[in-house]
Amino acid sequence: MIIMGPVEWLFDFWQFLEFYSDSVINATVRHLTLSFGAILAGIFVAVPLGILIANRAKLARVFLSITSIVQTIPTLAFLALVLPLLGVGVLPALVVLFLYSLLPILRNTYTGIRNIDAAYLEAGLGMGMNSRQLLFMVKLPLALPVIIAGIRLSTVYIISWATLSALIGAGGLGDLILTGIQTYDLNFILAGTIPTAVLALLAGSLINRLELSLTPRGLRTQG
Amino acid sequence: MVKFSHVTRKYGNTVAVKDLNLKIAGNEFVVLIGPSGCGKTTTLKMVNRLINPTSGTIEVMGKNIQDLNPVTLRREIGYVIQQVGLFPNMTIAENIGVVPHLLGWDKNKSRKRAAALLTMVGMDPETYMDRYPTELSGGQQQRIGVLRALAADPPLILMDEPFGALDPITRETLQDEFKRLQTELHKTIIFVTHDIDEALKLADRIVIMRAGEVVQDATPEELLRHPADDFVAAFLGKDRLSNQELQVAQVMLENPVKAYPEMGMAEGLALMKRKKVDTVLITDHGGRFLGSVSVDEVNAKHRSFNTLGEIVDQDTPAIEKTAAAKDAFNRINEEKLPYLPVIDEKGLLVGIVTRNNMVNALASVVWGDHNGSS
Amino acid sequence: MEKIILLTLEHLGLSTIGVLFGIAVGLPLGIMITRRRKLAGLVVGTTEMLQTIPSLAMLALLMMWLGLGNSTLIIALFLYSLLPIVRNTYTGLVNVDTGLIEAGRGMGMTRLQVLRLVQLPLALPVILAGIRVALITAIGVATIGTLIGAGGLGELIWLGMKNIETSKGVNMLFSGAIPAALLAIACELGLERLEKALTPRGLRVSPESMKN
């Protein structure tokens, strides 16, 4: 790295960004596509699955331990393991990120529903709700804050982990960082790191807001 | 209205309810009571099929409930539970409107119904309709719990220790209120409790259960006069049997003048002046009776102490509310006490007996006036 | 085969060293901030921020500053292990029933004795859970250490991925990825078992794990 003053460096970085603006924007778009594709798929699978296993203790143990084992596998190793099956590129990255997104969402949906005070369920049943009404009028509204917290956690992590998909040629902001490592160029590294951090922060606070507006008012006072 | 025929419910090898035969007529207020594990709650929950009997049949309004869809059945029976179970994500109006909603009423109609019900228990609909359960006190929440069961005007209401989680004072208020409601509404009510006082107060008929079987099925009056066996007698309590005339709780004044120990001397003096008393009773924030402070004490010590708590007389005699009124009278006379604070079994201050209201209470017993009774 | 075993051991070694540094700093830090609650938000917030930096970026940034090699990787692992250890130490200690702490004080224990005899034993399972999360994270991050010239199983994976078209490449990839995955899973399960074993018997209703 060439030693220079902060002002000069900022100027230099700015020029760099101007020159590479297209690649940064493309990488950001790709990064978002990968992350949100994985998260959306994760939500569509994990929320219904969490609802399903909430009443079935054995099944719950099986699914929760499978997903938590999946979670421990190092990302690079996981990406590598799906390579021979799915080849390089976007698909294997999406699959791996999707699998990683499952655990927090699944676990929070499950615990969110499990932790609902039995009194509410008894009251609902006793008043003549059928199981669908109990789910939509009682269980889901009460578990919603916990489920969304799981989605937020998942999103923030997935945006961070998606940088690694560059290693299997899926692109995204990790590409810029990788180039920076290979060419020993701080500009490239920062051009990948800063947007990733901003995306993660933005997504986190956006979901926080969503959570607040979706939490029924009667639950907010409880925190 | 409800008829149990040879109903048995087993859990593995344990028998929760054993060959139960019970008929409950329309408009009857029946209390199921007994120690925990006696099968009273199981019996109750079999009526709306939250629990299904192992054998035997239950009829509700002439129909065998095994032939009915449990969901439809439950919508026609009111249900109140101890933990209240108001849905925290719904407003008060929405909570009251759950069963109407399930039955497909339109929103306007169910809001009107909610407003009418709130008015019935003296809660202003304007104020409360759109609040959330967490914004209400425990007593108010259970009022709503009861109203919720009444919403679709079911002829039959099941209540599972509805007032069990409330503090004693709120509990009594709600009991009184509910008793009044019942005289207007004429519902058939099956009510589970383990509190014999509550049973005696509310029931038309008391069914005492033990180990899944009915031990005695009688009116409160019969029960007190002729307990079926020693178990029932023990359950009713010795005091009540030997001493049926009057209890302290029936002659005491509720809401004595009281203060917390942190209250300042000047404030305490002002309080006594305002309430025209010469003594104030001190309780902690949980309502536990700590002692008393008299106006003379405050006057003598206000220079050297700051709060009432520092000069409280911890040896102030007190009497339990279940004690005989006669005892209170004797103590006031013999120990020359101006008054006696009344506490419950947990040491919480619930009232006061003074010389004056003792005389009034005795007068009402002698001349049949009803002043001063609870 | 021998090489795989050596690389696996190296991988575990690097991860463990990073986490040990994390314990050496994070545990006292976690204890300290229970005494200074105002600092707690700041410390946990800072470590949380560190955690959200993508591992690839963290390694790249540290490489620019410290150069290539194992020590750079270890510093990254250390930084990542701070959050789970600090946070779990803190919450573990704070969630000890105040009644018990009062009881300890009432029996005449000093603050240090309360910490040693009451708080730490009760918080131990939670702290261990934090260490487990830290170690799993470290094993994961260490696989990409090869990009900044550090050792471990990442090397095999990376080389294998580069030569994925050849059967030798595929073999190499598997010989790195499978041990790495197994190592992580083994550590997870092993430490989980240890947590259970070290939980005081009276507390065996184990709190919902603090992992995320």
Contact residues on chain A for B86, CB-CB shorter than 8 A? 123
User: What pLDDT is stored for residue B335 in this prediction?
Assistant: 80
Highest averaged pLDDT of the listed ranges A29-43, A57-71, B262-276: A29-43
Q: Please say whether the dihedral angle defined by the alpha carbons of residues B94, B98, B101 and B105, taken in this order, is positive or negative.
A: negative
Q: Which amino acid is at A208?
A: N
Number of domains in chain A: 1
Using CA coordinates, name the residue in chain A closest to B46: A126
Does residue A130 sit at the B interface (CB-CB below 8 Å)? yes
Q: Is residue A222 part of a domain?
A: no
Chain A interface includes C75 (CB < 8 A):
no
Whether residues C64 and A156 touch (CB distance < 8 A) is answered with: no
Edge-to-edge strands, sheet with B349-354: B319-320, B339-343, B349-354
Query: Which pLDDT belongs to residue B3?
Result: 95
Q: How far apart are CA B331 and CA B334, in angstroms?
A: 5
Would you list the DSSP string of C170-196?
HHHHHHHHHHHHHHHHHHHHHHHHHHH
Token pair listed for A123: 């009251």
CA distance A121 to chain C (A): 22
Higher pLDDT, C2 or C56: C56
- What is the mean predicted confidence (pLDDT) over A198-204? 91
| Triad A122, A123, A124: Cα angle to 5° | 90
CA atoms of C155 and C176, how far apart (whole Å) = 8
User: If you write DSSP's letter for every residue of B15-83 in order, what string do you get?
Assistant: EEEEEEEEEE-TT-EEEEE-STTSSHHHHHHHHTTSS--SEEEEEETTEEGGGS-HHHHHHTEEEEETT
> Is A142 at the interface with chain B, CB within 8 A?
yes
User: Which residue of chain A is at minimal alpha-carbon distance from C148?
Assistant: A181
In the predicted model, what is the mean pLDDT of residues C82-99? 89
**Between chains, do A128 and B87 touch, taking CB under 8 Å as contact?**
no
> Which amino acid would we find at residue C26?
G
Whose tokens are 């100027």? That residue is: A11
Q: In this predicted structure, which of B82-91, B316-325, C149-158 has the lowest mean pLDDT?
A: B316-325
Q: Name the residue in chain A with its Cα closest to that of C170.
A: A84
Measured between beta carbons, the chain A residues lying within 8 angstroms of B90 are: 216, 218
Please give the Cα distance from A101 to A104 (Å, whole number): 7
Residue range B26-34: mean pLDDT, rounded = 94
CATH code: domain of residue A94: 1.10.3720.10
How many angstroms separate the CA atoms of C192 and C201, rounded? 15
Nearest CB among A76, A104, A184 relative to C144 is that of A76
Q: What is the pLDDT of residue A162?
A: 92
Cα–Cα distance for residue pair C183/C172, rounded to 1 Å: 17
> Among candidates B250, B214, B175, which has minimal Cα distance to B33?
B214
Burial of B368 (0-12, 13-18, 19+ CB in 10 A): exposed
The answer to whether residue A213 scores a pLDDT higher than 60 is yes
Query: Which letter, b or e, does each residue of A189-216 get, where b requires 16 or more Cβ atoms within 10 Å of its Cβ?
Result: bbbbbbbbbebbeebbeebeeebeeebb
Residues comprising chain C, all counted: 212
Confidence bin at C209 (pLDDT 50/70/90): very low
How far CA B112 is from CA of B8, B93, B97, B100, B125, in Å, comes to 42, 9, 10, 11, 10
Distance from CA of B88 to the nearest CA of A (A): 5
Residues C10-31 have a mean pLDDT of: 94
In three-state secondary structure terms, A4 is coil
Average pLDDT over residues B285-295: 87
Please give the structure tokens belonging to residue B48: 């709306």
Q: Output the pLDDT for position A17.
A: 83
Q: Give the per-residue pLDDT at C103.
A: 83
Averaged pLDDT for residues B261-267:
85
Residue B373: per-residue pLDDT: 39
Q: Are the Cβ atoms of A218 and B158 closer than 8 angstroms?
A: no
Q: Write the CB contacts of A158 (distance below 8 Å, at least 6 apart in sequence).
A: A35, A38, A39, A42, A97, A100, A101
Cβ neighbour number for residue B236 with a 10 Å cutoff:
20
Beta carbons within 10 angstroms of residue B335's beta carbon: 9
In Å, how far is C127's CA from the nearest CA of chain A?
A: 18
| B334 half-sphere exposure, CB direction, 13 A CA radius | 7
Torsion of CA B35, B36, B42, B43, to 10 degrees: 10
Cβ of A129 within 8 Å of Cβ of B91? The answer is no
B2-242: CATH superfamily: P-loop containing nucleotide triphosphate hydrolases (3.40.50.300)
Q: Do A and C have ≥3 inter-chain CB pairs under 8 A?
A: yes
- Across the range B187-197, mean pLDDT stands at 93
Lowest mean pLDDT segment, chosen from B122-126, B208-212, B359-363: B359-363
Sign of CA dihedral B270, B275, B278, B281: negative
Which pLDDT score, from 0 to 100, does residue B245 have? Answer: 60
pLDDT at B305: 82
Does the beta carbon of C167 lie under 8 angstroms from any beta carbon of chain A? Answer: no
Contact status of A145 with chain B (Cβ, < 8 Å):
no
CA end-to-end span of chain B, whole Å? 33
> Minimal Cα–Cα distance from A10 to chain B, Å?
51
For the record, the structure tokens of C102 come out as 């009062």
In the predicted structure, residue B361 carries a pLDDT above the cut 80: no
- Give the pLDDT mean for B297-314: 83
Planar angle of CA C23, C27, C31, nearest 5 degrees: 175
Query: Which H or E element spans position B360?
Result: helix B355-367
- Judge B/C contact: 3 or more CB pairs < 8 A: no
Selecting from C60, C184, C211 the residue whose C-beta is nearest the C-beta of A177 gives C60
Q: What is the pLDDT of residue C202?
A: 64
pLDDT at A44 over 70: yes
Percent of chain C with pLDDT over 70: 94
- Whether C73 and C150 have beta carbons less than 8 Å apart is answered as yes
Q: What is the rounded distance in angstroms from the CA atom of residue B313 to the CA atom of residue B308?
A: 10
Domain boundaries, given as residue ranges, for chain B: 2-242, 248-367
Which chains neighbour A (Cβ–Cβ under 8 Å, 3 or more pairs)? B, C
The percentage of chain C sitting over the pLDDT mark of 90, rounded to a whole number, equals 45
- For B236-261, write each residue's pLDDT tens digit: 875 565 445 667 887 788 888 888 88
Amino acid identity, position A199 = L
The mean predicted confidence, pLDDT, of chain A is 88
Structure tokens at A213: 């507006």
Q: Is the pLDDT of residue B374 over 50?
A: no
Query: Are A196 and C54 within 8 A, CB to CB?
Result: yes
In a domain, A87, yes or no: yes
**Average of pLDDT values for B35-45?**
92
Domain B248-367: top CATH class: alpha beta
For Cα atoms B27, B30, B36, give the angle at the middle one, nearest 5 degrees: 155
Asked if C140's CB is within 8 angstroms of A75's CB, the reply is yes
Here the ipTM equals 0.81
DSSP state at residue C207: P
Sheet containing B205-210: order of strands: B77-81, B156-160, B188-193, B29-33, B205-210, B213-218
- Asked whether residue B189 carries a pLDDT value surpassing 90, the answer given is yes
State how far the Cα of B109 lies from the Cα of B115, in Å rounded to an integer.
10
pLDDT at B366: 60
Q: Which of A127, A133, A220 to mutate to test the interface with B (most CBs of B within 10 A)?
A: A127
Q: What is the pLDDT of residues B139-171, one digit of tens each?
A: 999 999 999 999 999 999 999 999 988 888 888
Neighbouring CB atoms inside 10 A of B11's CB total 10
Residue B250 CA, distance from chain mean position: 15
What is the per-residue pLDDT for C210? 37
Provide the mean pLDDT of chain C: 87
Give dist(CA A28, CA A203) in Å, integer: 13
Enumerate the residues of chain C whose CB falls inside 8 A of the CB of residue A86: none
How confident is the model over B83-114, as pLDDT tens digits? 888 998 899 999 999 999 999 999 999 999 99
pLDDT at B155: 94
User: Which is more confidently placed, A140 or A89?
Assistant: A140
Looking at residue B371, its pLDDT comes to 43
Using alpha carbons only, give the angle B207, B212, B213 rounded to the nearest 5 degrees. Answer: 50
> Which distant-in-sequence residues (6+ apart) come within 8 Å of A69 by Cβ?
C185, C188
Under 8 Å between Cβ of A79 and A168:
yes
Token pair for residue B360?
């009034």
- For C42, residues 6+ apart whose C-beta sits below 8 A from its C-beta are none
Looking at beta carbons, which residues of chain C come within 8 Å of A180? 60
Q: Least CA distance to C173: which residue of chain A?
A: A80
Contact at CB, C61 and A189, closer than 8 angstroms: yes
Alpha-carbon gap: C177 to the closest alpha carbon of chain A (Å) = 4
pLDDT at A118 over 70: yes
A189 to C161: CB separation less than 8 angstroms, yes or no: no
Residue B288 makes CB contacts below 8 A (sequence gap 6+) with: B346, B347, B348, B349
Q: What is the pLDDT of residue B112?
A: 95
| Architecture of the structural domain at C2-203 | Orthogonal Bundle (1.10)
Please state, in angstroms and rounded to a whole number, the distance separating the CA atoms of residues A177 and C60.
7
Kindly state the DSSP code that residue B137 receives in the 8-state scheme. -
CA end-to-end span of chain C: 34
Q: Please give the helix or strand (H or E) that residue B126 lies within, else none.
A: helix B125-128
